[in-house]
Amino acid sequence: MQIPHDGNNPNDLIIYLQAIQEEYIPLSEEKRKEYFLEKRCKFNTKSLDEIENTALFIFLNRTCFNGLYRVNSKGLFNVPFGKYTNPKICDKETILRDSKLLQKVKIINVDFEKTLDYIDENTFFYLDPPYRPLNLTSSFNSYSKEPFNDKEQIRLKKFCDKITQKECFLMLSNSDCKGANPLDDFFDDLYSKYIIERVWASRSVNSNSEKRGKLTELLISNFKNDKLIDLNYQFISNHNKYYKYNALLCKTKPI
């Protein structure tokens, strides 16, 4: 499929996705699977221009199993075909709204530690890493070919310390391993000096439909009541209430 474009106009992406949708929707399930695998193979060539690459990324996300994004050790997208009756491949309104919102946004693709080069006194960090597996059978965290294991979780925590030392606010989400295993204190120990909240969240991604539903996740932050924590002091948790060992010294975020 060859569609002329300038690479910066969201309408070019819309035209490309509409063409894919018109080709895909009328197909039988067997032909849809063949079409999906063909586009997945093309996407994995990593030789496409920006519009075609983006269009195929959206198409694969809308038609793959459970809308997952996963790659193998070679960095190739490997999520299988998903069975959907009428997937919305081209969402024109959302694309146009997103394009408008992103006009003043700079997107960078770097290791998280390098983002410190872009901060100022008004920076707020929201960190959403690959979640730590709740058990051995839920060990999906391969969003990239590099594993995000416990060593990386610890490196991320040290990065959070650097953010706090620079007096920037942060919030981080992750799985609540302790909710699945009361003896698993990995995050409670790792972030013992931070504010840890447990919140209910819905999970729709699981190969076993009976295991989908609500469970607790962690929200970890370095502030309370608009004031930063001081890493020289420590919070302890008890039924989601937080107490201090000593007098809490907080630093007000500069304006």
> pLDDT digits over 148-162, tens only?
899 999 999 999 999
Average pLDDT of the residues of the chain? 84
Nearest to 242 by CA among 200, 188, 201, 190: 188
Token pair, residue 246, equals 């000593």
Whether residue 199 is contained in a domain is answered as yes
Higher-scoring residue by pLDDT: 254, 186? 186
H/E element, 30? helix 29-43
H/E element, 195? strand 195-203
The helix/strand/coil state of 202 is: strand
Q: Which residues of 222-251 are buried (b: 16+ CB within 10 A; e: fewer)?
A: bbeeeebbeeeeebeeeeeeeeeeeebeee
**Mean pLDDT across 99-111:** 92
Q: In CATH, what number is assigned to the domain containing residue 142?
A: 3.40.50
Q: Is the per-residue pLDDT at 203 higher than 60?
A: yes
Domain coverage including residue 71: 10-103
Q: Is the per-residue pLDDT at 53 higher than 70?
A: yes
Whether residue 58 is contained in a domain is answered as yes
Q: Tell me: the pLDDT tens digits for 208-224? A: 555 556 789 999 999 99
Higher-scoring residue by pLDDT: 88, 237? 88
Q: Tell me: the pLDDT tens digits for 137-149? A: 555 545 566 778 9
Higher-scoring residue by pLDDT: 243, 49? 49
**119 & 190 share domain:** yes
Residue 156 makes CB contacts below 8 A (sequence gap 6+) with 112, 127, 129, 172
Whether residue 34 is contained in a domain is answered as yes
Domain boundary at 82, 103, 124, which? 103
* pTM, 2 dp: 0.75
